[in-house]
């Protein structure tokens, strides 16, 4: 028997309106991931390229003739190259468990019997995964941009703001599409480890297919749709270089993300409601 006196009464206070309830899921997921010691170690590793590049920028502008202002494209292209690699690993490691964990513990039945529908659930999970992705793409890049602005002699505020916009747009596109894809894989109900391996395997497989087709069919840029890495680097070129011919990569990247999100929404709706 319990040693506690059972004094319990119904809650008579005010309940929060159901709209916006996805924030509860989003914050709970972030709390869960941030409490993981492996996430902290991962974050430390993912911050290294940005720290090193900020240090390099500082040293170069301090001890050499460079002003720092002329470094925009190659500099951020290299940085995003690193951060996108970390992003891929992060999604395989942490994003993979987002939905599959709930499916393995049958927690979906706990969510959907509360004032949470498939859309709210999706927004919560997608928001959390994107927030994690932005933590290793947007925030480090933004910090480097701030360092660049502070040490570069001739970088105007307008140019800095343009850099911030480019960093934000690149990071958001990458975070959105990769998050949608890993969540869709995660909703298959396989183990998180298997989802992570599938994610990395599919990435390598599609790169290989694109490479083969690229060599055999006349090097068409249309094949970039098969390559997430090409889409991401294309969006970096578009935003930082203004390469208008890469607009297709940006549209494709967001379009694929939106399509995957729609498929995921339909799939989650199937878990929520039984159809006749």
Partner 1 sequence: MTLFELHDLTFSYGGRPALSHVDAKVQPGSVGLLGPNGAGKTTLIRTLLGLTDPNAGRATVLGVDPQRQAALVRQLVGYMPENEAWFKDLNGFEAVRYAGRLSGLPPAAAIQRAHEVLDYAGLGEARYRPVGEYSTGMKQRVKLAQAIVHGPRLAFLDEPTNGLDPHGRDEMLALITDLGRIGISVVLSTHILGDVERVCSDVLLMVAGEIKHYGPLSAFRKGNDGEYLVGVKAGREALIEALGHEGLYGRADPEDPLLFRVKLEPERVPTLWRVAHHLGLQLRHVEPETLSLETALMRFLSGAS
What does the binding site for partner 1 look like in residue numbers (CB under 8 A)? 1-18, 21, 24-25, 28, 32, 97, 101-102, 104-107, 109-117, 272-276
Q: Which is nearer to partner 1, 117 or 237 (CB)?
A: 117
The sign of the torsion formed by the CA atoms of 164, 168, 171, 173 equals: negative
Residue 7: partners with Cβ closer than 8 Å, 6 or more residues away = none
Q: Which is nearer to partner 1, 107 or 258 (CB)?
A: 107
- Report whether 23 contacts 122 (CB < 8 A): no
State the minimum distance, in angstroms, from the CB of residue 174 to partner 1: 27
Q: Rounded CA gap, 206 and 118, in Å?
A: 30
Return phi, psi of residue 102, to 5°.
Answer: -70, -35
Q: What's the token pair of residue 18?
A: 């159901």
Q: Which is nearer to partner 1, 211 or 270 (CB)?
A: 270
State the minimum distance, in angstroms, from the CB of residue 113 to partner 1: 4
- Report whether 179 contacts 197 (CB < 8 A): no
**What is the number of other CB atoms lying within 10 angstroms of the CB of residue 60?**
15
State the minimum distance, in angstroms, from the CB of residue 135 to partner 1: 19
Q: Rounded CA gap, 80 and 166, in Å?
A: 11
State the minimum distance, in angstroms, from the CB of residue 93 to partner 1: 15
State the minimum distance, in angstroms, from the CB of residue 195 to partner 1: 14
Q: Which is nearer to partner 1, 20 or 45 (CB)?
A: 20
Q: Which is nearer to partner 1, 72 or 117 (CB)?
A: 117
The sign of the torsion formed by the CA atoms of 148, 149, 151, 153 equals: positive
Q: How far is CA 202 from the centre of its chain?
A: 17
State the minimum distance, in angstroms, from the CB of residue 10 to partner 1: 4
**Total residue length of the chain:** 276
Q: Which is nearer to partner 1, 103 or 241 (CB)?
A: 103
């Amino acid at each position: 028997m319990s040693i506690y006196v059972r004094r319990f009464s119904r809650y008579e206070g005010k309940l929060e309106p159901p709209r916006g309830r996805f924030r509860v899921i989003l914050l709970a997921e972030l709390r869960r991931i941030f409490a993981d010691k492996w996430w902290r170690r991962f974050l430390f590793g993912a911050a290294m390229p940005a720290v090193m590049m900020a240090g390099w920028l500082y040293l170069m502008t301090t001890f050499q003739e460079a002003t720092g202002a002329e470094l925009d494209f190659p500099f951020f292209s290299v940085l995003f190259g690193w951060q996108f690699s970390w992003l891929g690993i992060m999604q395989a490691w942490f994003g993979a468990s987002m939905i599959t964990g709930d499916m393995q513990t049958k927690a979906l039945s706990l969510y959907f019997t509360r004032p949470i529908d498939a859309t709210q659930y999706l927004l919560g999970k997608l928001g959390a995964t994107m927030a994690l992705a932005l933590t290793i793409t947007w925030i480090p890049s933004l910090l480097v941009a701030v360092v660049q602005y502070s040490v570069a002699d001739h970088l105007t505020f307008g140019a800095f703001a343009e850099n911030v916009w480019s960093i934000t747009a690149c990071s958001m596109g990458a975070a959105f599409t990769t998050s949608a894809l890993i969540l869709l894989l995660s909703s298959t109900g396989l183990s998180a480890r298997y989802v992570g391996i599938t994610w990395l395997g599919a990435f390598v497989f599609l790169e290989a297919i694109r490479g083969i087709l690229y060599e055999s069919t006349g090097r068409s840029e249309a094949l970039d749709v098969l390559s997430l890495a090409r889409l991401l680097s294309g969006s970096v070129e578009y935003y930082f270089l203004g390469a208008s011919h890469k607009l297709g990569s940006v549209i494709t990247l967001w379009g694929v993300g939106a399509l995957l999100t729609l498929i995921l929404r339909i799939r989650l709706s199937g878990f929520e409601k039984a159809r006749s």
